[in-house]
Amino acid sequence: MRLSRASLSLGLVLLLAAGCSSDSSGDGVTSFAPGAAGSAPAQPSDPGTPPAADGAAGGSAAPGVAPGTSDGSGSEGGPDPVALDPEAPVTGNEGSTGAGGTGADAGGVAVIPSDPAVGGDPAFPTAVTPSAGCANGSTTQGAAQLTIRGAQADYVVTLPPGYSPTTPTPLAFGFHGRNRTHVEFQTIDASGIQTELGSRYIMVYPKSQGGPGWNFDAEVPPSIEFFDALYAQMTQNYCVDLSRVFAVGHSSGGYFSIILACRYGSLLRGIGTVAGAIQEQMCTTERVAGLLIHGPNDTVVNISGGRGARDQLLARNGCQQGTGPGVDALCQAYQGCAEGFPVQWCEHTEPTYSDTNGPTNHGWPSFASRAIRTFLEALP
C-alpha cells in the first residue's frame, strides 16, 4: 500500500519530535542494497573494463559504455554513434521490453489532461505538505558539504526571491552530467535552469560521489547515500513542500534522476531530464510524472535508452496510446495516464554539443529549462 506524502511528513516530524537521530537513510527514504531487485547492478571487479550492452526500449540492446568519455564540451576517444553509450552502466541491465513489457518503442502511452498541453486535473490538487524544516527558519544558501563514506560531498543551495522560512516551497534537485560539476550544471550546462526553476523553487545542486558521474556501478551506491542524506538535510532545515519535490538532470544526471524516479516514487512528484536513459528495470509501484527530452542525433547517449525510460514511466503511470500537444511544440503529451501523473516526450535537433565526431545534439536544448518549469508547475 502506498503511503501518502502527508503520512511520510508526519512520520518525519514525529521522529524529530522524539529526538531520534537519523543516518543517511533515516529520513523516510528507502535505501536499496546493491544487487537487490530494483537496485543498481553489482559493482564489477574492474569498473574500467569494457561494458556489456545496456537494456533498450523494445527489447533491443542499448549501446555499451565508452570508458573515459567526457560529458562536457567534448569526449575523449569519440564515442561511436551507434555502438557506444558512455553513460550506460559498466555492467548492463537486461533488455527492456518497453512500456513495462508491451514492446512499445515509439508509441508508449500517458493523463487525460484538463490542460491538453500539460496533463493532470486541477480539480484534484495535491495538498501542500510542510516539512519539519518549516519550524527551523533557515535562510542559509550557497556552498555547503556533507560527509558521505568519509569523503566530502559538496552541494550548492539557492533560495527563490521572497523565500519565507515558514511557507512550504517546492524543492528541486539538479544533477550534472559526467565529468562536469554541480556549479557548471547550474551556471553553464543547464542553460536557464536557475532562472526558470531557481526563481520559484528551493534548488540544490549536488556534486557526484564515487566518480565523475552518477550512474556507473561504483557510483550508484554512494550517489544514493548522498541523495538520502541531502533529502533529509534539506527537508529538516528548509521549509519544503514535501508534495512537490522534483529531480532534474542532464546525461549521467538524467540517468540518476530516472533511477530516483524508479526507486523513490513516494518522495518525488516529478522529473525533468535531458539525454537520460533507462537503467533499472524493477521499480516501486508509486507513480512519478515525467518530462523527458532527447535528441535523435545524440551520439553520446543513444535515444533508444531515452525511449526506454519514457516507456517505463508510461507503463507505471497507466498510460495509453495516443498523444496530444505538449508544453513545447517539440513535445508530445501522452493521454490516459493516472490522474495527476502525466508523461511528456520531447525530441529536438539542436546541436548544442560537440565531440570528436563533430556536432551532436546531446546537450541541453534552448527550450528545455522553460519546458521543464512549465511541466512541473502545472502538476496538480
Residue 270, C-alpha cell as written in the block: 516529478
Helix (H) or strand (E) holding 378: none
- CATH at 326: 3.40.50.1820
Q: For the chain, report the end-to-end CA distance as a whole number of angstroms.
A: 22
pTM score: 0.72
Residue 266: how many CB atoms within 10 A of its CB? Answer: 19
- Relative to beta strand 270-274, strand 240-250 is parallel
Phi-psi region of 212 (alpha: psi -120 to 50; beta: other; left: phi over 0): alpha
Q: How far apart are CA 279 and CA 276, in angstroms?
A: 9
Beta bridge partners, 332, equal 325, 345
Amino acid at 262: C
Q: Which residues contact 375 (CB under 8 A, 6 or more apart)?
A: 118, 270, 272, 289, 291, 327, 342, 344
CB 79 within 8 A of CB 353: no
Is 70 part of a structural domain of the chain? no
Q: How far apart are CA 311 and CA 104, in angstroms?
A: 7
Q: Among positive and negative, which fits the CA dihedral 276, 278, 284, 288?
A: positive
| Spacing of C-alpha 22 from chain mean position | 24
pLDDT of residue 110: 28
pLDDT of 352: 80
Give 161: exposed, middle or buried? Use CB within 10 Å, 0-12, 13-18, 19+.
exposed
In a domain, 252, yes or no: yes
* Nearest Cα residue to 238 out of 143, 163, 145, 137: 137
CB atoms within 10 A of CB 318: 16
The answer as to whether 338 is a domain residue is yes
**Pick from 207, 174, 178, 221: nearest CA to 65:** 178
The single-letter code of the amino acid at 263 is R
Best CA proximity match to 260, nearest among 378, 173, 154: 173
Report d(CA 113, CA 335) in Å as an integer: 7
Q: Which residue has the cell 535531458?
A: 274
Q: What is the rounded CA–CA span in Å between residue 21 and residue 4? A: 23
Q: Specify the pLDDT at position 358.
A: 73
Cβ–Cβ under 8 Å, residues 355 and 299? yes
Q: Is residue 96 part of a domain?
A: no
Evaluate whether residue 30 is within a structural domain.
no
Contact at 8 Å (CB) between 126 and 170? no
CB 222 within 8 A of CB 209: yes
d(CA 197, CA 170): 10
Domain extent, residue 340, equals 104-377
Q: What is the pLDDT of residue 359?
A: 79
Per-residue pLDDT of the chain (380 residues), as tens digits, is 444 444 444 444 343 344 433 333 333 333 333 233 333 333 222 222 223 333 333 333 332 223 333 343 333 223 333 334 556 654 433 333 333 333 333 333 222 233 333 333 444 467 899 999 999 879 999 999 999 999 999 999 999 999 999 999 999 999 999 999 999 999 999 999 999 999 999 999 999 998 999 999 999 999 999 999 999 999 999 999 999 999 999 999 999 999 999 999 999 999 999 999 999 999 999 999 999 999 999 999 999 999 999 999 999 999 998 999 999 999 999 999 999 999 999 999 998 877 767 778 999 999 999 999 999 999 99
Strand ranges for 317-365 from DSSP E: 323-325, 331-334, 336-337, 343-347, 354-355, 358-359
Number of domains in the chain: 1
Helix (H, G, I), strand (E, B) or coil at 376: helix
Residue 98: inside a domain? no
Residue 308's pLDDT is what? Answer: 98
Is residue 260 one of the residues assigned to a domain? yes
